[in-house]
Amino acid sequence: MDLSSKTVRTIEQGGVVPVVRLPDLAGAVDLAKALLDGGVTAVELTMTSPGAQEALGLLRKRVPAFATGDAALGMGSVLNRKMAEAAIRGGAQFVVAPTLDIPTVRYCVEQNVPVMPGAFTPTEIQTAWKAGAAVVKVFPATKLGPSYFKDVLAPLPHLKLMPTGGVGLENAGEFVRAGAVAVGVGSALVRKDWVAERNWEALTEQARRFVAAVGEARSGS
């Protein structure tokens, strides 16, 4: 199994990808540790967060799980190849995008770094997959709902899909039961007030709830 496949397997293990989009990443190390303590196996910073590149390097150095392969650290909101180059150079172990840009996908594939481009329609999703996407980020999932995943996967069962946008505790399990391999979760998990208050215990507990919801859905309960 190559490195890209191992990274994808790590991400799928916890099945929850917290999307960290914040105005300040000063507490990024404690934030990441709190999320990992809750059982998630991936953390996605975003290019739209000030200091994201610096935080990426810091997390790679200060959070052992990212070095050992027990968790994966990614960069999101990547719009083009240049941004992907910067993210990978900075230590990103996977790349996430809100849209489908084929040169970006191909570059990540060349670098053996799993890429999760955003797509909305079945044609976009299949195009992303054929270009080399490791997982296709269906975005914004809140406009589609879990039944959309079941409908798309019926004729296209080879796809790996991850909903992002509008995913909460009330529907995370439904997306997984509909066929999603993981869920991308933003403010429903990485709450700005908890981060501002450095309430890491609340963050860890919320992460546990999401991981449990995914696990229960996978087990059929």
Domain that holds residue 102: 3-219
Q: How far apart are CA 105 and CA 132, in angstroms?
A: 6
221 exposure class (CB count in 10 Å sphere: 0-12, 13-18, 19+): exposed
Q: Residue 199: what pLDDT?
A: 97
Q: Residue 25: what pLDDT?
A: 84
Q: Where are the alpha helices (DSSP H) in 38-131?
A: 52-62, 64-68, 81-89, 102-110, 122-131
Express each pLDDT in 80-117 by its tens digit.
999 999 999 999 999 999 999 999 999 999 999 999 99
Backbone angles phi, psi at 60, to 5 degrees: -60, -30
Q: Residue 220: what pLDDT?
A: 85
Q: Residue 43: what pLDDT?
A: 98
Q: What is the DSSP letter of 199?
A: -
Which residues are bridge partners to 43 per DSSP?
A: 73
Q: Are 162 and 116 in contact (CB under 8 A)?
A: yes
Q: What is the DSSP letter of 164?
A: B
Tokens in use for 32?
A: 């990441």
Q: How confident is the model at residue 72 (pLDDT cuts 50, 70, 90)?
A: very high
Express each pLDDT in 5-30 by its tens digit.
999 999 999 999 999 999 888 899 99
How many distinct helices (H) and strands (E) make up the chain? 11, 9
How many domains is the chain built from? 1
> How far does CA 125 lie from the centroid of its chain?
16
Q: Residue 142: what pLDDT?
A: 85
Q: Residue 168: what pLDDT?
A: 97
Express each pLDDT in 40-55 by its tens digit.
999 999 999 999 999 9
Express each pLDDT in 132-149 by its tens digit.
999 999 999 988 999 999
Express each pLDDT in 160-216 by its tens digit.
999 999 999 999 999 999 999 999 999 999 999 999 999 999 999 999 999 999 999
Nearest to 73 by CA among 86, 51, 100, 55: 55
At residue 39, does pLDDT exceed 90?
yes
> How far does CA 84 lie from the centroid of its chain?
15
pTM for this predicted structure:
0.96
At residue 1, does pLDDT exceed 70?
no
Reported as half-sphere exposure (CB side, CA atoms, 13 A), residue 139 has a value of 23
Q: How far apart are CA 162 and CA 179, in angstroms?
A: 9
CATH number of the domain encompassing residue 201: 3.20.20.70
Q: Residue 221: what pLDDT?
A: 67
> How far does CA 77 lie from the centroid of its chain?
11
